[in-house]
């Protein structure tokens, strides 16, 4: 007499207790996912930085920095105690994110200059008013007198109203573009900033000992030499090898540092980008 053999259905192969534990684990996981989603802030609102941020009461808000700040416009991110305030762009970006705003910083700004004033009272110049006696325009000026070779700091430049005939047509329109440059000659406080008065700071002086690197295909060789001339970042400099006496054509990349070979072309054409890659 044959006995019937019971076979456990496939869905019963796993013990009930284990299935129960897995079921509870799946429920806990689902609850965790829901909690994470609930805790995630809503998508940030994209904003754009105003061309000329201004503040009129010393408390710099997101609304004074960004177009489209909406409900976050009154959030204070910094204080201004003088004619201008220079803010760290990364700090501002983080403050905006905390307030639900997204600023992508598409141009890679490092600093944001905020000047004293009101958006309702900006001084402007039109073609008709520029020729009138006494007409004024707002330009970037020196906040203090500078000696030849002084490097421009954020507090050294401010926006000021000057007679239209004193303003240079090719004057810098952004403080960020002149901060970090050095004065070619002595400059008097209150005079408009002009590009021809400034240059890249000198990093190598004639007679300095310089480390010259040959960089190619991941290989780097360094020799020491003496500079034959002064040089700023990105400028050519001849360095005489102190061991062989051989003259090396190089490009300055930093204080007491230069490169030769394939890297020299990159350092000369785009010194800022080259420095970031080193």
pLDDT digits (tens, 9 = 90+) for 229-274: 999 888 899 999 999 999 999 999 888 999 998 888 888 776 655 5
Check: CB of residue 162 under 8 Å from CB of residue 139: yes
Residue 173 sits at φ, ψ, to 5 deg, of: -105, 0
Specify the pTM: 0.45
pLDDT of residue 8: 54
**DSSP sequence for 157-217:** EEEEEEEGGGS-TT--S-GGGTTT-EESS-B-TTSBP-GGGEEPPEEE-TT-EEEEEEEET
Q: Domain 202-277 classified CATH 3.40.30.10?
A: no
pLDDT of residue 37: 40
Q: Domain 123-199 classified CATH 3.90.1210.10?
A: yes
Q: Residues 42-47: what's their mean pLDDT?
A: 73
CA 138, distance to chain mean position in Å, is 24
In the chain, CATH 2.30.30.760 covers 202-277
């Amino acid at each position: 007499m044959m006995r019937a053999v019971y076979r456990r259905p496939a869905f019963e192969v796993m013990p009930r207790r284990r299935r129960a534990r897995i079921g509870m684990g799946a429920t806990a996981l689902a609850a965790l996912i829901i909690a994470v989603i609930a805790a995630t802030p809503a998508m940030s609102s994209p904003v754009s930085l105003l061309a000329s941020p201004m503040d009129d009461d010393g408390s710099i808000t997101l609304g004074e920095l960004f177009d489209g700040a909406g409900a976050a416009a009154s959030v204070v991110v910094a204080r201004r105690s003088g004619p201008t305030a220079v803010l760290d762009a990364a700090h501002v970006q983080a403050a905006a994110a905390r307030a639900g705003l997204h600023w992508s910083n598409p141009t890679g700004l490092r600093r944001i200059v905020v000047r004293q004033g009101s958006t309702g009272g900006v001084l402007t110049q039109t073609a008709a008013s520029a020729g009138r006696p006494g007409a004024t325009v707002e330009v970037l000026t020196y906040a203090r007198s500078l000696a030849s070779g002084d490097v421009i700091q954020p507090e050294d430049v401010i926006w000021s109203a000057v007679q239209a005939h004193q303003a240079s047509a090719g004057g810098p329109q952004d403080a960020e573009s002149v901060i970090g440059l050095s004065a070619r000659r002595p400059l008097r406080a209150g005079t408009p900033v002009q590009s021809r008065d400034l240059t890249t700071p000198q990093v190598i002086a004639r007679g300095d000992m310089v480390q010259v690197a040959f960089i190619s295909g991941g290989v780097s060789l360094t020799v020491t030499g003496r500079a034959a001339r002064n040089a700023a970042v990105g400028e050519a400099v001849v360095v005489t090898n102190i061991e062989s006496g051989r003259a090396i054509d190089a490009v300055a990349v930093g204080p007491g540092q230069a490169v030769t070979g394939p890297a020299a072309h990159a350092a000369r054409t785009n010194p800022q980008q080259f420095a970031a890659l080193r």
